[in-house]
Each structure stands twice: as structure tokens, then as C-alpha cells.
Amino acid sequence: MAESFDVIVVGAGHAGIEAALASARLGRRTLCVTMRLDRIGHLPCNCSIGGPAKGHMAREIDALGGQMGLTTDRAVTHIRRVGTGKGPAVQTVRAHVCKDLYPQLMQEVLASTLNLTVRAGEVRTVLYGPDGVTGVQVGDETIATRAVVLTTGTFLNGLCHEGKNKTVAARSGDAATAGLSAFLTQLGVRLRRFKTGTTPRIHRATIDYDRTETVDSEPDAGPFSFVNNALSPVHPLLPSWQTRTNETTHEIIQSNLGESAMYSGQIEGVGPRYCPSIEDKIVRFADKLSHPVWLEQETWDGPEVYVQGVSTSLPAAVQIDILRSIPGLENCEMLRPGYAVEYDMADPLQLLPTLMSKLLPGLFLAGQLNGTSGYEEAGGQGLVAGVNAARFAVGEPAWELSRHDSFIGVMIDDLVTKGVEDPYRMLTARAEHRLLLRHDNADARLTPVARDLGLCSETRWERFSRKQESIILGRSTLENTWFTPADNDALAAAGSSPIETKQSAFELMRRPELRLAGVERLRPLGLPTDPAVREQLELAAIYEGYIQRQERLAAQTRRLDGLRIPADWNYMTTGGLSYETREKLTRIRPTTVGQAGRIPGVRPSDIALLIGHLRGVVGAA
């Protein structure tokens, strides 16, 4: 082998970027191989970063030292808060980014990162021996490595559909690849076909904006990166626009269902449940008279507008009829039709929580290849896989995120414990302790982890430390500032009820009519002016009881996750377990009792028996 690297990352989408950067930033000699250098960081579907649960993960990637949030803050074209009416556990932000600038910035970051080499090429297969991965074959060249991270997205046997037209491609303008599917099949990986899709693009000059609702940006929504005080867009923020489908739209779709690649039987792959095509919406929600459609400008100056909510695999001629039935789009020009793409994905039940394959030491899988959908899901997996590949390459212990400390941990645990039946999308409802996993406290949860791993810069750590010191000092001030019945006249003047015994400023903050600002009007406290610090103080006071309750529940489940199961444990000879439990535990090979208990179909009584057996073995030793 002519050359060697510690880690080789295959692909440079959102998963590949975070994997390659994490490995290189940990000091490993890293190679990132991608089919086209000009497609690094490409946004093949929408131009969005964040949104419900996805915004949480984007901030977690940032808190762990990843790149997505930093690049979003520079390339942002539109931003809004979401989930504002559903409490702090759900609230986050959603941004649009410039589809030209975002990849450009990512390419610049990769090119300037120490220990990272980026190369154009096609990885045909992964080479391995009895002890694990030994290298990859790129074209006719063989390159040695200890660890490989596959982040192939929709490229494995990708097939695009537009009506009855089929094109062998990973996405518009990108060739598919077949070699790695053959390698994975030979290895024993269970491959399945999944499907995703995208919407038509229309010319922004042909939209009648008077017939749409303008949705302005909220520049004070805050940055994605905890390193930044504010957004830093290259150009002024843009609005987006909302319109809706109608009965005419639905009639056009209904009468042309036979032309849809999905409904004509041409597509074998399973589509996303939570981001259905417009055809799917009309069939599955036949009682709805309309569906929302958002018009999102893809770049600051370019003509392309993304028609969010109209993902489709209908023929182009039908797509233009659909578009022109929607208010504001009656005279629109379609620049590119939507299409569906189906591709090979690998069963994530064959992965460890580190995202390393159970079948081959040193092989890691991340992103859409594992059955997920979305840029943020991919980025989170990429970072975890990149860290673990870097650690594996030099014999360091594996690192895991738990579902109790992050949405990324929830996602990975779901993947490797429950598997997927359709493209996985992160939802806040998937997290049992989501009040602990808020968008606003991702730094408190994960930046110390990044510090321990070696992914936290000194600048980030100094900023984080100052913030945490301010929060601690502020809370101490609030908890040690007392109000008594002598302050009742002041409370009445503030529109608040009297108190009968003394209460701290921290307790009074729970009153909706007061909150932090109201308490400060009653008595100057000299608290920090940093909005992020003040937000943490206020949330801590308002939700203290709920947070403590969730922390107790999380501690209980964390104890079960701390009870490891030996890798060679024989479930078939473990007395008392039901046959279904034995079969599932043998097939999935959970690493902890907590993970075993989350496998669908495994009985609680069997988990109690398993704990007894494990403790018996430990006691005997």
C-alpha cells in the first residue's frame, strides 16, 4: 500500500464533514474521499438547518465542537423560532442557509484543517483481515488505514424517479455507486431500500407575492453556535412566503396518481413517515382541504425558490399543473422538477452504540446509510462516528452518548436498539427527559464532554466557563435575596399577590407577572445582562420542580445503562428468559441492561431475571 492514514472517511456530506473534522481535530491523520470536491457540504434537498428537535441536535453538534452551527451562522438567509407555544423543551430555531455559500464555507474549513486531506475519488470497497479494517480501494489505488467511516447518503445503488422515468443516480447531477453495497452484503450487513424525495424549484421572479403571506425573519432568534453572540450573515436576512394547496390541487394529484413513481409500483423503497410526498398527503389525509406550502429562496441572489411541502415523484408536466393551481404560483416558471430517489441503507441493529459495525472492527457507519433522514441527524452521527474512529485507530476506549444527555444519544440508542422501518426523523417526543435536553442548555450538557474528548477550543472553553460562573453567581444571588411581608406594598404595586412568609427572589421569579425582570424592578440585584445567562436563571426557577423530577427518573435509568453486559453473554442458556427475549437479545446484542430493556418485545420480568444472573456472575467472581 503506497500510503496510509489513521482514519478514512468516505463521503463529504453533513455526516462526512463532521466525521472528518472530528477525527482530524483529535490529531489523527485523516483522509476524506468524496466523488466530487465541488459537492462537499451540498444541500441536495431543502436549505434548512434546525427546526423541531433538529435545532436541538444542531446545537448539540456545536456544543461538542462540530462545525454545522458555526457555518449556519455565517450562511443564514432566514431564521425563525419554532415551538414557541409548547414550552422550553420543544422550543428551538430553524434557519435557511444559502445553498451556494454554505458548501463554500464548509469546503474552506476542510481545506484549512490540520491533519485532514480531502481527495476526489470513488471508494470501491473496504479491505479487511482477521483483526478488522486494513484499508480501502480508491479507483485502482489501495490506501491503508485502521478505521473507515462510511457516510454514503443516498449513493449506494441510488435510483432517481420522475414519473415513469428512471435515472441511475444518487441525486440530481451525482452518479450512484454500487461497489460498497456489494462489500456490505458480502460482510453480512442486512441492506434494505429506503426512499426520499425533493420538491420542484421555481423562478422567484414568476411568483405573485401579493397572493402569499410574507413570513419575516427573526434576527433576534439568536445564533446556532454557542461561540457567537449573534448571527453574522454575509447579506441581510430574507423573508419566506406561505401559501396553501386547495381542492383543485388535490384533484390534479388524485387524477394522476397512476403516473406517480410511488403509486405506480416503480419504487420499492420505504419513504419517510414524517416528511411525506404531496401524493402521500393527499391519500393519507384525504379529509384535509388544503396543506401548507412554504416558498424558500435558496440563495441571496439566485432565481431558485424551494417549494417546501410539495415533494413529489409525479411527471414534470403534472408538477407544473400542480404548482399553477396554488395561489401565488399561477404563472410560475418551474426551473427543475421534483423527484424521488431510492437507495440502499444498512440495518442499524448491526451497529454498536459507538456506530461501529458489530461485524467488522474498525468499520463505522453514519448518516442516511443508517436509515435516518435530515442533515442534523447525519451530522450528529458523523461526529460520534468520527470521534470513535479516531479513538479506535490508536487503541483508545470507545465513547458513547446516552439518551439521558443528548438528542443525538436518543437517536443513536433508537437506531441500534429498535432499528428502523422507515427513514428515521428526530422528534422531541422520542426523548423521555426532554426538559433536561433543551435547545438552550446544550452547552452545559456537552461542552465539558467536548473538553474531555479534545474537541473544545480554548476560546469556546473560556466563553463557556464565564457563562457558567455567571449562572452560578446569579442563582446564588437570587436564592439569597429575601422578600418578607414588609414588601407586600411593592408586590401589590407590581400587580402581584402578597406573601405571608419570607420568600427568595428565586421563588418569586416563578410568578408569571414578575419573572426575572419584575423581581429586579422590586429590588436591584446587579445580575448579569447576558440574555443567555438570564434565560438559564429564569428557566431554572420556573421549572425547578419538573427538572428535579426528570433528573431523578434519568438517574434511575442511567443506573441500568451503567450495568454492562459481557459481549459474549449467552442468552440462550440464561435460565428463565422467554424465547422471544432470548432471540431478540441474541440478535441485537445490547451492551447494557438499560439498552436491553428498551428493545421492543423484551419483557420487564426478563430484564429483572437478567440483572439477577449478571449480579450472580459478578458475585461468584
pLDDT tier for residue 621 given thresholds of 50, 70 and 90: very low
Once rounded to an integer, what is the mean pLDDT over residues 227-247?
96
> So what's the pLDDT on residue 616?
83
Whether the Cβ atoms of residue 370 and residue 381 lie closer than 8 Å to each other? yes
| Chain-centre distance for alpha carbon 454 | 22
Whether the Cβ atoms of residue 123 and residue 33 lie closer than 8 Å to each other? yes
Measured CA angle at 185 (ends 164, 142), to 5 deg? 105
Q: Identify the weakest region by mean pLDDT among 7-16, 163-172, 596-605.
A: 163-172
Whether the Cβ atoms of residue 68 and residue 381 lie closer than 8 Å to each other? no
> So what's the pLDDT on residue 617?
54
> So what's the pLDDT on residue 620?
35
Residue 440 per-residue DSSP state: G
494-547 pLDDT, tens digit per residue, is 999 999 999 999 999 999 999 999 999 999 999 999 999 999 999 999 999 999
d(C-alpha 543, C-alpha 80), whole Å: 24
Which are the contacts of 400, defined by CB distance < 8 A and separation ≥ 6?
353, 354, 409
Higher pLDDT, 618 or 605: 605
590-617 pLDDT, tens digit per residue, is 999 999 999 999 999 999 999 999 988 5
d(C-alpha 12, C-alpha 75), whole Å: 18
Measured CA angle at 464 (ends 219, 106), to 5 deg? 60
140-156 pLDDT, tens digit per residue, is 999 999 999 999 999 99
pLDDT tier for residue 268 given thresholds of 50, 70 and 90: confident
> So what's the pLDDT on residue 265?
77
Once rounded to an integer, what is the mean pLDDT over residues 229-233?
93
> So what's the pLDDT on residue 150?
98
Per-residue pLDDT at 2 exceeds 90: no
Average pLDDT, the chain: 95
Once rounded to an integer, what is the mean pLDDT over residues 247-260?
93
Report the percentage of the chain scoring pLDDT > 90.
Answer: 90
Question: Exposed (0-12), middle (13-18) or buried (19+): which is 613, by Cβ within 10 Å?
Answer: middle
| Chain-centre distance for alpha carbon 122 | 26
452-503 pLDDT, tens digit per residue, is 999 999 999 999 999 999 999 999 999 999 999 999 999 999 999 999 999 9
90-141 pLDDT, tens digit per residue, is 999 999 999 999 999 999 999 999 999 999 999 999 999 999 999 999 999 9
Per-residue pLDDT at 173 exceeds 90: no
33-43 pLDDT, tens digit per residue, is 999 999 999 99
Q: CA-CA distances (angstroms) from residue 499 to 54, 159, 492, 537?
A: 42, 69, 10, 22
d(C-alpha 434, C-alpha 445), whole Å: 12
Nearest CA among 583, 589, 456, 468 for reference residue 528: 468
d(C-alpha 166, C-alpha 313), whole Å: 11
d(C-alpha 353, C-alpha 493), whole Å: 56
> So what's the pLDDT on residue 619?
33
563-590 pLDDT, tens digit per residue, is 999 999 999 999 999 999 999 999 999 9
Q: CA-CA distances (angstroms) from residue 319 to 54, 314, 346?
A: 29, 6, 32
Which are the contacts of 41, defined by CB distance < 8 A and separation ≥ 6?
12, 13, 14, 17, 71, 102, 103, 104, 105, 106, 107
Report the percentage of the chain scoring pLDDT > 70.
Answer: 99
> So what's the pLDDT on residue 256?
94
> So what's the pLDDT on residue 1?
58
> So what's the pLDDT on residue 267?
80
Residue 402 per-residue DSSP state: -
Which are the contacts of 312, defined by CB distance < 8 A and separation ≥ 6?
197, 199, 200, 260, 277, 278, 279, 319, 322, 338, 340
Once rounded to an integer, what is the mean pLDDT over residues 65-72?
98
**Position 449: which residue type?**
V
Residue 430 per-residue DSSP state: G
